């Protein structure tokens, strides 16, 4: 059996890549190790009647053109805005932001009128920065080490784009790309809970605290998406992110791609330095003109191929590429909605995210624990009770709650995650109990997903949720390595399209789309 | 969503159940089904408008005047104690951040209102000045009492305020509650605005309504206010201009001269203020891109355009804050017609019996009397009705500005 293209890994990027290749008429096969496609974007019934977004839980960065190119709406795509950000405070008060600017003004003004005003200035500038970077998400980045005139011209175009920006926008962009979230937020705001809420975007998935340089980049990354033109807004896909990847899978199949689950690839078969197919762990061999790895760079370069076939620089670069997963999930099945005493019987605060990170200090303290090799004693939690929006996630009247938790470093000093899993779950639960008295009594089921579980289940090295950390030297021109940031590899016919390539992780689809563009260009008949 | 300090009283009066949001407050769109009736109260009797959602500031201290002279484009030093100014403030590039009313209560004490928050903005400029900027937005509600009989109503509750000149301001009391009254408004007619401490809102409201009963005092909503202000050719933020602060490009932003507010920016002396250098350069180099002017529609032509299509021309209730293109000629007659500008506000004035609007036109087309053609969609097709540039205010009764109302 021979294909035009085989895609290793049925995460959303592998599926998007396959769909584009199939759309171009290529006979394409996706090989997925698990019984279900979706990778980090799956929805699983881990407790009868309760559907959990085991890993990723919200969507924002998905590039809008993919929706139309792949006809995703026809295949069931449906994203609803998650409109609220609810940030409980240690003293029982809270900050609750929603979709109305006027209402948000007064809510922030309860804490500080100057901050309420600054929030608009900040918002305007951030929207403009996002608008300035979004075009870069839809382009194959230039190859900075190449002297090819095409690449030199691309670098020049990039320079031109930056020069065309309003200096204020450019300056903010540079601050974000190089500085800390705290530096920027301290300049605009004085309210701790507001800064905590906003800074939390700067630490997601990365081993940095809000005061660390680099948190600015992570912050920018998490606000550069949109829901229907509202920049920085996040949404919930019907049925969770697994609902989304199922829609992409249907689209890929409708376009002619074949998907095989429970097909674990052991290595890429090369002949005379060219990729010709893959070998499965079952021993089966499958052949194709093009092999695309949708896995992270460590697996793409150090697991699937013989490193002796690769330049030493690249091997060293990938060996030192930082993963150091620091995030975990704790998902709950709940008997009822939790109560927040200061809000009485209100429940609208759950129409979005619950942000437990009441100050930047809190987040930084949580980070300190991780720095020294342990999970946070008071972790940051990004919670979302998705069944408030989507009743099909849980039995009527009952709820599921997704909690994304930091910090949970992959390497624990003096212990391991199999030992600590339940203790960690208890830690998270007790923080929730602090803010939502009686929370523990509501729990019907608890699912702890440690970085080790992430690695074991979907293959993300060290459990890094983005297939490689968001650090300036690991992005854009350098993702995953200088010169190899254009989805190609040194092995002819072997490509990469996972989150370890530009632009990076999150349910975005851009790596899969851009890799397909490159492959189709390289192999045009 | 917040409600104003008068909500308890105004809520039962809103017979339309139409509310909208203004700066995070619930505000009435219209209290009764005939918006024209509410509107005519400002031309015939007296209307009250709850303008509490405005942001309110107190600027005080030994350097208050010097400070504000550097903030506002209009020279506040020319504002005497007991007077107010309609003013604007700009950014360094000379683009309008906002407009608002500032009232001088004393040598070193001012009150100011604005449509958007400015506390942080003012404070950021206060550096080095002995001045404090205080946010009074929640401390006060404001009622606008507008219309020819507003003076009698005001006199009944505060004789002192009843003798204020146009743009005069005074501290006074109403039913033993301390208030500040200014002879200002956004209706293009005689009128007053009353700053009332939040705790006194209801008793003062009741006193006012009692005093106004003999003069048919009725509440008016946002829609009638929009129509009334258009009669005055008064600019509405986010309709006739975008505040520079949240605009993305300079193409969106506008200078005071471009907004037709050149009269208030006097560069004769050397007073430094934010935006001065840019405005100087604009004037020296003649770089204004357009001017904002009033226009009125040729009534007969407007009728004819609809009548020719077998329709009656829409008048009552026409009020829009959306863009309408303006051409130099009728495109249906002359395919060489050129786009010259656009209207930002457009509506039928019930008192003037004609359609009027505000538009942005090239400088050589702004002289009153010059014509352009306004694009309307009639019966699924574009139609071009002749309009004439006119002076604003369109409606300007003597009583509005009379030294003192007899
Ligand atoms: C806990 C967690 C929370 C997150 N939260 C969010 C969020 O809320 N929003 C968001 O946008 N992003 C979130 N992310 C990030 C986002 O989910 C990922 O970046 C994205 O889903 C990765 O997609 P991918 O296709 O590149 O790779 P993956 O989803 O990792 O897909 C790789 C696929 O390859 C398969 N595979 C592995 N080994 C083999 C093999 N040998 N042979 C065949 N197949 C193999 C895996 O089973 C998997 O299906 C989160 C990630 C995690 C882990």
> What is the number of other CB atoms lying within 10 angstroms of the CB of residue B125?
19
Same domain, B26 and B161: yes
Q: Does B2 touch chain A (CB under 8 A)?
A: yes
Residues B49, B144 within the same domain: yes
Q: Are residues B296 and B381 located together in one domain of the fold?
A: yes
Helix/strand/coil for A312: helix
Q: What is the 3-state secondary structure (H, E, C) of A448-509?
A: EECHHHHHHHHCCHHHCCCCCCCCHHHCHHHCCCCCCCCCECCCECEEECCCCCCCCCCCCC
Backbone angles phi, psi at A404, to 5 degrees: -90, 130
> Residues B176, B317: one domain?
no
- Above 50 in pLDDT, residue A54? yes
Q: CA dihedral in degrees (A226, A232, A233, A236; nearest 10)? A: 70
Contacts of B137 in chain A (CB under 8 A): 113
Q: Which residues of A touch B245 (CB under 8 A)?
A: 120-121, 124
- The answer to whether the CB atoms of B245 and A124 lie below 8 A apart is yes
Q: Which two tokens stand for residue A167?
A: 């200096």
B contact test, residue of A96, A99, A105, A189 with most B CBs within 10 A: A105
Check: CB of residue A107 under 8 Å from CB of residue B24. Answer: no
- Classify residue A501 as left (phi > 0), alpha (psi -120 to 50) or beta: beta
Q: Which is nearest to A474 in space by CA: A502, A510, A506? A: A502
User: Do B14 and B162 sit in the same domain of this protein?
Assistant: yes
pLDDT at B405: 56
Question: Domain boundary at B220, B236, B263, which?
Answer: B220
B249: nearest CA in chain A?
A: A166
Residue in B92, B117, B132, B137 to test binding to A, most A beta-carbons within 10 Å: B117
Min Cα–Cα distance to chain B from A155, Å: 26
Cβ-based contacts of B123 with chain A (< 8 Å): 114
What pLDDT digit, counting tens, does each position of A144-160 carry?
999 999 999 999 999 99
Average pLDDT score over residue span B352-362? 97
**CB under 8 Å to B324, separation ≥6 — which residues?**
B342, B343, B346, B357, B374, B375, B376
- Residue A491: both structure tokens together: 């092995």
Residues near A207 by Cβ (< 8 Å), separated by ≥ 6?
A: A322, A324, A326, A367, A370, A407, A409, A469
Q: Across the interface, do A106 and B118 touch by the CB < 8 Å criterion?
A: no
Alpha helices in B27-158 (DSSP H): 35-44, 64-71, 119-125, 150-157
Tokens of B351: 């008192």
Omega into A489 within 30° of 0, i.e. cis?
A: no
| Residue B116 belongs to some domain of the structure | no
Percent of chain A topping pLDDT 90:
99
CB A403 within 8 A of CB A332: yes
Alpha helices in A267-359 (DSSP H): 297, 312-319
Q: How close, in Å, is residue A160 to chain B by CA atoms?
A: 18
Give the atom of ligand 1 at the shortest distance from the alpha carbon of A40.
29
Residue-wise pLDDT tens digits, A463-493: 999 999 999 999 999 999 999 999 999 999 9
Question: Same domain, yes or no, for B35 and B155?
Answer: yes
Say if residue B23 is in the same domain as residue B146.
yes
Is the peptide bond preceding residue A452 cis, with omega within 30 degrees of 0? no
Q: Give domain status of residue B47, yes or no.
A: yes
* Per-residue pLDDT, B404: 62
CATH number, domain of B368, equals: 2.40.30.110
**Average pLDDT over every residue of B2-21:** 98
In the reported structure, the alpha carbon of residue A499 is separated from the centroid of ligand 1 by a whole-number distance in angstroms of 8
> Among B247, B25, B239, B124, which residue's Cα sits nearest to residue A120?
B247
Q: Is residue B218 scored above 60 in pLDDT?
A: yes
Peptide bond into A407 cis (omega under 30): yes
pLDDT, mean of residues B238-267? 97
**One-letter-per-residue 3-state SS of A426-439:** HHHHHHHHHHCCCH
The answer to whether position B144 is within a domain reads yes
Q: Which of residues 122-161 of B touch A (CB under 8 A)?
A: 123, 135, 137
Judgement on whether residues B178 and B327 belong to the same structural domain of the protein: no
* B241 pLDDT above the threshold of 80: yes
For residue B40, give its domain range: 7-54+138-220
Instruction: Among B200, B220, B240, identify where a domain stops.
Output: B220
Residue B346 lies in a domain: yes
How distant, in Å, are the alpha carbons of A24, A93, A215 from that of A409?
A: 42, 30, 17
Alpha helices in B292-333 (DSSP H): 299-307
Closest-CA residue in chain B for A118? Answer: B120
> CA nearest B254: which of B93, B113, B390, B128?
B93
Number of domains forming the structure of chain B = 2
Q: Over the stretch A63-96, which tens digit does the pLDDT of each residue have?
A: 999 999 999 999 999 999 999 999 999 999 999 9
Task: Please report the atom of ligand 1 found closest to the CA of residue A463.
Answer: 53
Structure token pair of residue A233: 């807004």
Give kind and range of the element (H or E) at residue B401. Answer: helix B398-401
Query: What sections of A110-224 are H helices per DSSP?
Result: 113-137, 149-163, 167-178, 181-188, 192-199, 215-223
Final residue of a domain: which of B160, B194, B220? B220
Query: pLDDT-derived band of residue A269, with 50, 70 and 90 as boundaries?
Result: very high
**B31 and B173, same domain (yes or no):** yes
Confidence of residue A525 (pLDDT cuts 50, 70, 90): confident
Q: Is A79 left (phi over 0), alpha (psi -120 to 50) or beta?
A: beta
Q: Are both B210 and B342 inside the same structural domain?
A: no
Provide the token pair at B150.
């507003």
**Ligand 1 atom nearest A280 alpha carbon:** 42
DSSP character string of B328-347: SS-TTT-TT--EEEEEEEEE
Whether residues B211 and B335 fall in one domain: no
H or E element at residue A230: strand A230-231
- Alpha carbons within 13 A on the beta-carbon side of A301: 27
The stretch B225-253 carries a mean pLDDT of 97
Task: Please report the domains of chain A, with CATH numbers, ordered by start residue.
Answer: 2-41+61-78+238-322+460-522 (3.50.50.60), 103-223 (no CATH), 323-458 (3.30.519)
Mutate which of A17, A38, A41, A60 for ligand 1? The one with the most ligand atoms within 8 Å of its CB, which is A41
Residue with tokens 């205080």: B134
Peptide bond into B393 cis (omega under 30): yes
Indicate if B216 and B298 belong to the same structural domain: no
CATH at B171: 3.30.1360.120
φ/ψ of A261, rounded to 5, equals -95, 175
Joined together, the tokens standing for residue B405 give: 């109302």
Q: Which pLDDT band holds residue A392 (cuts at 50, 70, 90)?
A: very high
Q: Cβ of B246 and A116 within 8 Å?
A: no
Query: Cβ contact (<8 Å) for B24 and A118?
Result: no
Best mutation target, B52, B98, B119, to test chain A (most A CBs within 10 A): B119
Buried/exposed code over B38-64 (b: 16+ C-beta within 10 A; e: otherwise): bbbbbbbbbbbbbbbbbbbbbbbbebb
Q: Looking at the CA of residue A266, tell me the nearest atom of ligand 1.
A: 41
pLDDT for the residue B403:
80
Q: Is ipTM strictly over 0.85?
A: yes
Nearest to A102 among B23, B245, B248 (CB): B23
Classify residue A228 by its DSSP letter. Answer: T
Tally DSSP H helices, then E strands, for chain B.
11, 20
Query: CA of A202 to nearest chain B CA: how many angstroms apart?
Result: 24
Selected residue of A100, A107, A113, A115 to mutate for chain B interface (largest B Cβ count, 10 A): A113
B112 in a structural domain: no
B 12-41 near A (Cβ less than 8 A): 21-25
Q: Residues lining ligand 1, judged by CB closer than 6 Å? A: A 8-14, 31-34, 39-41, 55-59, 61, 264-265, 294-295, 327, 329, 404, 454, 458-460, 465-467, 498-499, 505-507
Going by C-alpha positions, the residue among A366, A325, A332 that lies closest to residue A448 is: A332
Quick one: pLDDT band at residue B102, thresholds 50, 70, 90?
very high
Q: In A299-392, which residue ranges form alpha helices assigned H by DSSP?
A: 312-319, 360-371
Q: Which residues pair with A333 in a beta bridge?
A: A400, A445
Express each pLDDT in A96-153 by its tens digit.
Answer: 999 999 999 999 999 999 999 999 999 999 999 999 999 999 999 999 999 999 999 9
Judge whether B65 lies within some domain. no
pLDDT for the residue numbered B406: 45
Instruction: Find the mean pLDDT for residues B139-151.
Output: 98
């Amino acid at each position: 059996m021979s294909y035009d293209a085989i895609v290793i890994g049925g995460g959303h990027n592998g599926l998007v890549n396959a769909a584009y290749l199939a759309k171009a008429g290529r006979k394409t096969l996706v090989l997925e190790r698990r019984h279900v496609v979706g990778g980090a974007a799956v929805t699983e019934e881990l407790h009868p009647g309760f559907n959990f977004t085991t890993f990723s839980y919200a969507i924002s960065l998905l590039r809008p053109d993919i929706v139309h190119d792949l006809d995703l709406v026809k295949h069931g795509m449906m994203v609803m805005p998650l409109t609220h950000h609810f940030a409980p405070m240690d003293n029982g008060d809270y900050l609750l932001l929603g979709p109305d600017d006027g209402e948000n003004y007064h809510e922030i003004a309860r804490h500080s009128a100057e901050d309420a005003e600054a929030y608009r200035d900040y918002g305007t500038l951030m929207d403009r920065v996002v608008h300035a970077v979004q075009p870069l998400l839809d382009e194959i980045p230039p190859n900075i080490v190449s002297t090819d005139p095409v690449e030199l011209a691309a670098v020049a175009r990039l320079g031109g784009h930056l020069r065309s920006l309003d200096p204020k926008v450019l300056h903010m962009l540079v601050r974000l790309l190089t500085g800390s979230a705290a530096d920027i937020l301290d300049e605009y705001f004085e309210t701790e809970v507001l800064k905590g809420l906003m800074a939390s975007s700067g630490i997601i998935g990365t081993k940095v605290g809000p005061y660390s340089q680099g948190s600015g980049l992570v912050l920018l990354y998490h606000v550069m998406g949109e829901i229907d033109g509202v920049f920085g807004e996040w949404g919930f896909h019907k049925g969770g992110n697994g609902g989304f990847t199922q829609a992409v899978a249907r689209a890929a199949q409708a376009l002619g791609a074949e998907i095989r689950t429970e097909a674990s690839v052991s290595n890429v078969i090369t002949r005379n330095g060219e990729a010709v197919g893959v070998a499965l762990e079952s021993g089966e061999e499958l052949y194709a003109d093009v092999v695309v790895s949708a896995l992270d760079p460590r697996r793409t370069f150090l697991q699937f191929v013989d490193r002796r076939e690769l330049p030493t620089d690249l091997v060293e670069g990938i060996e030192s590429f930082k993963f150091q997963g620091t995030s975990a999930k704790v998902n709950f099945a709940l008997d009822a909605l939790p109560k927040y005493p200061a809000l009485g019987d209100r429940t609208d605060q759950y129409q979005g995210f619950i942000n437990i990170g009441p100050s930047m200090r809190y987040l930084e303290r949580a980070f300190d624990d991780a720095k020294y090799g342990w999970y946070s004693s008071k972790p940051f939690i990004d919670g979302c009770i998705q069944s408030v929006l989507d009743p099909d996630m849980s039995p009527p009247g009952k709820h599921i709650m997704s909690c994304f938790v930091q910090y949970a470093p992959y390497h624990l000093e003096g212990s391991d995650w199999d030992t600590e899993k339940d203790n960690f779950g208890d830690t998270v639960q007790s923080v929730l109990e602090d803010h939502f008295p009686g929370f523990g009594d509501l729990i019907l089921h608890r699912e702890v997903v440690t970085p080790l579980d992430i690695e074991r289940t979907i293959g993300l090295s060290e459990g890094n949720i983005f297939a490689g950390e968001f650090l300036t030297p690991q992005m854009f021109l350098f993702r995953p390595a200088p010169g190899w940031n254009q989805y190609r590899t040194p092995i002819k016919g072997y490509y990469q399209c996972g989150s370890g390539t530009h632009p990076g992780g999150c349910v975005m689809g851009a790596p899969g789309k851009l890799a397909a563009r490159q492959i189709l260009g390289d192999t045009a008949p | 969503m917040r409600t104003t300090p008068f909500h308890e009283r105004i809520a039962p009066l809103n017979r339309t159940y139409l509310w909208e949001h203004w700066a995070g407050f619930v505000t009435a769109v219209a209290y009764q089904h005939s918006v024209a009736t509410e509107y005519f109260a400002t031309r015939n009797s007296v209307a009250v408008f709850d303008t509490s959602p405005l942001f309110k500031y107190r600027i005080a201290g030994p350097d208050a005047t010097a400070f504000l002279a550097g903030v506002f484009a209009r020279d506040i030093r020319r504002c005497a104690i007991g007077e107010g100014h309609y003013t604007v403030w700009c950014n360094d590039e000379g683009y309008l951040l906002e407009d608002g009313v500032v009232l001088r209560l004393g040598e070193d004490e001012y009150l100011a209102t604005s449509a958007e928050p400015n506390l942080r903005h003012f404070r950021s400029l206060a550096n080095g000045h002995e001045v404090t900027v205080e946010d009074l937005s929640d401390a006060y509600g404001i009622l606008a009492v507008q219309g020819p009989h507003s003076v009698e109503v005001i006199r009944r509750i505060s004789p002192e305020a009843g003798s204020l000149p146009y743009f005069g301001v005074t501290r006074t009391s109403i039913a033993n509650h301390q208030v500040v009254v200014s002879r200002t408004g956004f209706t293009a007619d005689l009128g007053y605005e009353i700053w009332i401490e939040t705790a006194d809102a209801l008793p003062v409201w009741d006193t006012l309504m009692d005093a106004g009963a003999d003069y048919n005092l009725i509440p008016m909503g946002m829609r009638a206010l929009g129509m009334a202000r258009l009669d005055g050719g008064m600019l509405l933020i986010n309709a006739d201009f975008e505040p520079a602060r949240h605009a993305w490009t300079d193409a969106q932003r506008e200078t005071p001269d471009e907004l037709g507010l050149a009269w208030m920016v006097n560069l004769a002396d050397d007073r430094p203020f934010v935006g001065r250098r840019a405005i100087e350069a604009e004037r020296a180099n003649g770089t204004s891109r357009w001017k904002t002017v009033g226009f009125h529609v040729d009534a007969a032509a407007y009728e004819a355009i609809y009548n020719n299509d077998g329709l009656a021309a829409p008048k009552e209730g026409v009020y829009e804050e959306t863009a309408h293109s303006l051409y130099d000629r009728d495109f249906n007659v002359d395919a060489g017609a050129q786009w010259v500008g656009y209207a930002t506000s457009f509506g039928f004035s019930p008192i003037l019996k004609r359609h009027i609007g505000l538009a942005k036109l090239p400088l050589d087309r702004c002289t009153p009397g010059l014509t352009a053609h306004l694009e309307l969609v009639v019966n699924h097709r574009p139609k071009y009705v002749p309009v004439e540039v006119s002076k604003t205010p369109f409606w300007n009764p003597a009583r509005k500005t009379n030294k003192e109302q007899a």
